[in-house]
Amino acid sequence: MSRSAVVLLSGGLDSATCLLIAREEGFSIHALSFDYGQRHRVELDRARALAARYGAREHRVERIELPSGASALTDSSVPVPKDRLGAEAIPPTYVPARNTVFLAHALAWAETLSAFDVFLGANALDYSGYPDCRPEFLEAFERMANLATRSGVEGRGAFRIHAPLLRMTKAAIVRRASDLGLDFGLTSSCYDPSAGGKPCGHCDSCLLREKGFREAGLADPGRA
Amino acid sequence: MSRSAVVLLSGGLDSATCLLIAREEGFSIHALSFDYGQRHRVELDRARALAARYGAREHRVERIELPSGASALTDSSVPVPKDRLGAEAIPPTYVPARNTVFLAHALAWAETLSAFDVFLGANALDYSGYPDCRPEFLEAFERMANLATRSGVEGRGAFRIHAPLLRMTKAAIVRRASDLGLDFGLTSSCYDPSAGGKPCGHCDSCLLREKGFREAGLADPGRA
């Protein structure tokens, strides 16, 4: 029987690629998504479609609350910055402690499943500058996780936070996803899509995605 | 203006004492409780009463999901152990990664409030043996928190996880709470209360509480 892994699945390009990598490494996939009132809710539909298409053993969508008013991703009165990638060290789309919260919930589920592997699509190269995407954060989380849990304390295994995209360029991610057969049209990266799910083409996430496809020399079928 | 602190408030004796300590230290209190489907739901009513009585500036009850079936505290088909305190290293009332999840949400709120102080009533002496109540876990979480956040990265302050009860006996906690004027009748510690909120008197938490009052030489008005 293959080992189980919890894969954080947002419905974007990076987390979808991460799911395919975990699958290729032989893990049985338990995909985890969050409904936290994000304005780009189309990503939850995409996450469901991706989990189904790529054979996740289970897909769990947890409803959680995060403080509102702190981020352009959760508060519709805060504008999503357009056409100014890299203008600030940490942009207003940053959601306070989001990856800490997501990984904490992933850890709880992993421990329940007797799993020790958690995958997330964090990237520290072509990214939005979020502090909780950096390698030093992920290492500190992993260390904490092994002190936090029964499994860690009893020595039944060591939790590992896998971030296989961490040091890849967006172009390398696009190429890797293409090699693994990802149907790009199923993914949604935009921070501010239309009601029908159409990407805005101008937010950080759209700009990074466009750059990735351009540098990889591929067309993006997700750009409707 | 006094500094703000997020105080994790379960409605039990320890977290109530912690709230009073934070208040005595001059913090403006933002109390945080979780509705996670716990069977001892009476504690949420107690948390609301405590927050109101002791002047919390704000009380937030977040509804979150935790995996079910893993703990006697969230799954009514798993019996709460009775009259066997200390029989196992880690008892079945352990909820996988609960303090990691709670502290992650507290961190998210603290960052939103521009607060750097989080209080929780963890105790590593007279306790149930949970791995996520130990000092080494709390230190690892604090370190991670300062790498996870915009505030930590930009050097606007350092997050601190306060666990003022960590090395106190239950009797010392009872005495401290008494000195601070805690109305013990407002608190609920039982893992398996009756529908009306009456403590069972036999679970780990009831046994620890009883021991604390006995050793402190005080009567427990919360023991109806």
- Asked if B140 and A132 come within 8 Å (Cβ–Cβ), the reply is no
Does A224 have pLDDT greater than 60?
no
pLDDT at A21: 98
pLDDT tens, B15-28? Answer: 999 999 999 999 99
Query: Which of B149, B151, B159 to probe by mutation at the A interface, max A CB count within 10 Å?
Result: B149
- Asked if B62 and A64 come within 8 Å (Cβ–Cβ), the reply is yes
Task: Band the pLDDT of A69: cuts 50, 70, 90.
Answer: low
Number of Cβ within 10 Å of residue A203's Cβ equals 27
Average pLDDT, chain B: 90
B72/B214: higher pLDDT: B214
pLDDT tens, B163-183? Answer: 999 999 999 999 999 999 999
The reported pTM is 0.92
**Cβ contacts of A101 within 8 Å, gap of 6 or more:** A64, A66, B101, B104, B105, B107, B108
B223 within some domain: no
- Asked if A131 and B150 come within 8 Å (Cβ–Cβ), the reply is yes
CA separation for the pair B166, B17 (Å, rounded): 12
A131 within some domain: yes
Q: How many domains does chain B have?
A: 1
B222 within some domain: no
A69 within some domain: yes
Query: Which of A6, A33, A58, A65 to probe by mutation at the B interface, max B CB count within 10 Å?
Result: A65
Q: Which amino acid is at A46?
A: R
**Cβ contacts of B63 within 8 Å, gap of 6 or more:** A63, A64, A65, B34, B35, B36
Does A78 have pLDDT greater than 80?
no
**Cβ contacts of A134 within 8 Å, gap of 6 or more:** A124, B147
Chain A nearest-CA residue for B144: A140
B134 within some domain: yes
Facing residue for A148 by CB, picked from B66, B137, B152 = B137
Facing residue for B97 by CB, picked from A63, A67, A149 = A149
Task: Band the pLDDT of B73: cuts 50, 70, 90.
Answer: confident
Average pLDDT, chain A: 90
pLDDT at A88: 67
A180 CA: distance to closest CA in chain B (Å) = 31
List CB contacts (< 8 A) between A67 and chain B: 108-109, 112-113
A223/B101: higher pLDDT: B101
pLDDT tens, B130-144? Answer: 889 999 999 999 999
The residue segments making up the domain with residue B133 are 4-216
CA separation for the pair B89, A156 (Å, rounded): 14
pLDDT at B1: 66
Measured at the alpha carbon of residue A86, what is the angle toward residues A99 and B156, in degrees to the nearest 5?
A: 60
B221 within some domain: no
Task: Band the pLDDT of A151: cuts 50, 70, 90.
Answer: confident
What ipTM is given for this predicted complex?
A: 0.90
B190 CA: distance to closest CA in chain A (Å) = 22
Q: Residue B62, SS3?
A: strand
- Asked if B112 and A145 come within 8 Å (Cβ–Cβ), the reply is no
Q: Closest Cα partner for B134 from A143, A147, A156?
A: A147
Query: Which residues of A lie closer than 8 Å to B, measured between beta carbons?
Result: 62-67, 69-70, 89-90, 94-101, 103-105, 107-109, 111-113, 131-132, 134, 136-137, 140-141, 143-145, 147-150, 152-154
What's the whole-number mean pLDDT along residues B203-211?
Answer: 90
Does A60 have pLDDT greater than 60?
yes
B48 within some domain: yes
Cβ atoms of B195 and B76 closer than 8 Å: no
Q: Closest Cα partner for A103 from A117, A91, A124?
A: A117
A176 within some domain: yes
List CB contacts (< 8 A) between B147 and chain A: 131-132, 134, 136-137, 140
Tell me the CATH number at A139. Answer: 3.40.50.620
List CB contacts (< 8 A) between B65 and chain A: 62-64, 105
Q: How many CB pairs under 8 A join A and B?
A: 150
List CB contacts (< 8 A) between A150 and chain B: 90, 94, 96, 131
CA separation for the pair B193, A109 (Å, rounded): 26
Does A197 have pLDDT greater than 90?
no
What's the whole-number mean pLDDT along residues A188-193?
Answer: 87
Cβ atoms of A191 and A93 closer than 8 Å: yes
> Tokens representing A128?
């939005």
